[in-house]
Structure 1
Amino acid sequence: MEEETISLRELFAVLRKRLSMIVIITVLATVISGVVSYSFLKPVYQASTQILVSQAAAGSLASIAGMSFDNDAKYIETYNVILKSPYILDQVVKELDLDTTAQGLNNQVNVTQQGKSQVVTIAVQNHDPAEAVTIANEIAKVFQREISALMMIDNIHILTPAELPENPAPIKPQPVLNMAIALVVGLMASVGIAFLLEYLDNTIKNEQDIEKLLELPVLGTVNTIELEDGKSTKKSTTMNSKRGAKVEV
């Protein structure tokens, strides 16, 4: 069984043949992405505050001498869990009278430790930039207040409170990035569709298709036949050297 090979020239021929379809699909995907990003997706803003886990626990000299940086790092892992717990977030929702639940607020909050430092960042995402700032600061305040009762320590300090900038910029959506992704995806999809259509198309359109199908040279063709009534037919008869076979296209 002979293996079929496709040359680069044939590949470019397929792309050139379906060029209009490829351009239309690519442009359409890019335009749709832009319209959705600019008109339908609500902008999301982010505000963040930072808290410092100091080495002074319970404010005593004994604690200062006995607590090391490694111990504080272990405490930070626990703090990160407590910060997003319903115990803290329920109080934030209640005190700010938010139209959400602790679980809903949890989805808006992200708590991260800055490297291996003792600084923890509380980031809040919201459609309202002012509300994002208020929530971030309130979470830090509630946590600072409640951690003393939970763990009998007082080593949390608000390092940098969240502030509302004059011209807040949303972190998402990013229309330009979305359109660029849509352009690439649309281009890849349209090229794939072009090759799929070419693979599924097994009709005979010209002499080259006949030569390729029968693997025989074409002897002659009749392109147009004039009829008695003056009309013409576009039926073309091609003859090849295989038993005088005729193929109509």
Structure 2
Amino acid sequence: MEETISLKELFQTLKKRLWLIALITLIAAIISAVVSFFVMTPIYESKTQILVNQAKSDEQLYNNNQVQTNIQLINTYNQIITSPVILDDVRKDLSLDRSVEELKEAIQVSSAKDSQVVDVTVQDESPHMAAKIANTTAEVFQSKISKLMNVDNVTVLSKAEVGEDIAPVKPQPLLNIAIAIVVGLMLGVGVAFLLEYLDNTLKTEQDIEQILELPVIGVITNIKDVPKATVRQTQPMERTQRTRGETFGS
């Protein structure tokens, strides 16, 4: 016999376990807030921009084909910026106590579509160190790219600077808490339906009909227990009435 669950039963299950869903959601939000504010280390970001271009000579026309060629080389430049040839000098110049691979993970190189401008973004626990790494990387790239790629015109458009009211880019507590609330709701709903599925007790006459496949003839309602104090008070009265009856009978 196939079991079907109506939409009304679903809402009844959610209403029945509403306190559990709210508790799980609240716990998830509190854990996310504690981890975001007190456990996770703030990470700051700093960015510098580099323009990589071929110098225009008197005998060479600076046409559209040359621009397209330079744009296609941007991906190559992006790989060179994060290569050990550049980052090893950056590590030495700043006396960083980290490997080239660790430094590479902190640097992100990107460029807009059809653009010769390269963005070098650095993330670090210190905003000042992030700015130093970004600027040093641009300077080392500017000094070495002319020998590596025969590029004779590299310009640093903007240097990384540390502002007065700089804020960390991560963690983002509000976003983390919002995600935790959504996850908590989903987990709470899942636990509520799981508990309802594992609950094999009989609650209504419909449950008996489904299991026994027999109609229910009658239902006995709940009878409240009589308080003991009331029983004690009624016993002397019953004895008095019985004594009177025996007297009249005699």
TM-score bracket for this pair, using the shorter chain length = 0.7 to 0.9
User: Is residue 177 of structure 2 the alignment partner of residue 173 of structure 1?
Assistant: no
One-letter code aligned to 2:131: V
Q: Deviations over 1:83-135 (max 9, x none)?
A: 00011001000000012111000000000012211101000000100100010
Greater alpha carbon shift after TM alignment, 19-28 vs 66-75: 66-75
* Separation in 1, partners of 2:74, 2:140: 16
User: Is residue 111 of structure 2 the alignment partner of residue 108 of structure 1?
Assistant: no
Q: Give 1:152 shift.
A: 2.6
Unaligned runs of 5+ in 2: 230-250
Question: CA contact under 8 A between 1:56 and 1:64: conserved in structure 2?
Answer: no
Match of 2:19 in 1: 20
Question: CA contact under 8 A between 1:56 and 1:63: conserved in structure 2?
Answer: no
- Tell me how many residue pairs correspond in the alignment: 226
User: Cα 1:68–1:209, aligned 2, differ >3 Å: closer, same or farther?
Assistant: same
Rg larger in structure: 2
Question: CA contact under 8 A between 2:47 and 2:134: conserved in structure 1?
Answer: yes
- Would you tell me which structure has more helix in proportion to its own residues? 2
SS in 2 for 1:125: strand
* Separation in 1, partners of 2:209, 2:171: 54
Greater alpha carbon shift after TM alignment, 196-205 vs 75-84: 196-205
Q: Percent identity?
A: 50
One-letter code aligned to 1:49: T
Higher relative CO (Cα under 8 Å, sequence separation at least 6) belongs to: 2
TM-score (norm 1): 0.84
SS in 2 for 1:197: helix
User: Cα 1:63–1:85, aligned 2, differ >3 Å: closer, same or farther?
Assistant: farther
One-letter code aligned to 1:149: K
Q: Give 1:225 shift.
A: 9.7
One-letter code aligned to 1:83: I
Match of 1:46 in 2: 45
Q: Give 1:4 shift.
A: 2.5
User: Is residue 9 of structure 2 the alignment partner of residue 5 of structure 1?
Assistant: no
Greater alpha carbon shift after TM alignment, 104-113 vs 196-205: 196-205
Q: Deviations over 1:60-84 (max 9, x none)?
A: 4345648710111122121111000
TM-score (norm 2): 0.83
SS in 1 for 2:3: coil
Question: CA contact under 8 A between 1:113 and 1:119: conserved in structure 2?
Answer: yes
SS in 2 for 1:104: helix
User: Is residue 58 of structure 2 the alignment partner of residue 61 of structure 1?
Assistant: yes
